[in-house]
Amino acid sequence: MTSFFRLVVAGALALLVQPALAFEVAEPAVATFDVDTTGLPPPPAGEGNPYRGNARAAEIGRTLFNQTCARCHGVDAVSRNMPGPDLTRLDKACRPIADPAVRAHCLADNDAYFLDSVQNGKVRVGVSHMPAWKTVLSPQLIWTLRTFVESRAPKRAAE
């Protein structure tokens, strides 16, 4: 093949491979963070986010998010041009549900998904996209992150 053609093929391959390489080795979870949990009530027993709508939990979650998640999901969960997805869209399908019980069920499913994603990280076909946080962040702290992200989500027009 001509050297020009070889160059084009190499360029196309580099473009294809590059985004995958960018995520190939997710950085390790950050073990050092500094967050003041004063005013956070102990989580009641039960499934799901115990802090939904709690302003203090959202405030703690914001500080923690910007220390541990922002480098991939964006400062204050604004994820434009970031490697991680926009987390404020997670509840997009739940928000328009009118029936409060069905809506709560939808949010509870996402609670479980959020907790599992953060605790165990994201590995696809053997490639790590996001580190696992279970040895670093307690469920209580993970719920403050979820509460913060929810507080940043776009509100329904009717609300």
Q: Point out which residues bind ligand HEC (CB under 6 A).
A: 23, 26-27, 68-69, 71-73, 83-85, 87, 90, 114, 117-118, 122, 124, 129-130, 133, 145
Residue 19, SS3? helix
Nearer to ligand HEC (CB atom), residue 10 or residue 31: 31
Nearer to ligand HEC (CB atom), residue 19 or residue 96: 19
C-alpha separations of 159 from 77, 84, 98, 102, 107 in Å: 21, 28, 11, 17, 17
Nearer to ligand HEC (CB atom), residue 9 or residue 25: 25
Nearer to ligand HEC (CB atom), residue 124 or residue 156: 124
| Separation of first and last alpha carbons in the chain | 63
| Closest distance of CB 2 from ligand HEC, Å | 38
| Closest distance of CB 39 from ligand HEC, Å | 21
| Closest distance of CB 54 from ligand HEC, Å | 17
| Closest distance of CB 111 from ligand HEC, Å | 10
Burial (CB < 10 A; 0-12, 13-18, 19+), residue 67, is middle
Q: Are strands 122-124 and 127-130 parallel, antiparallel or unpaired?
A: antiparallel
In 3D space, the residue among 81, 79, 80 whose CA is nearest the CA of residue 69 turns out to be 79
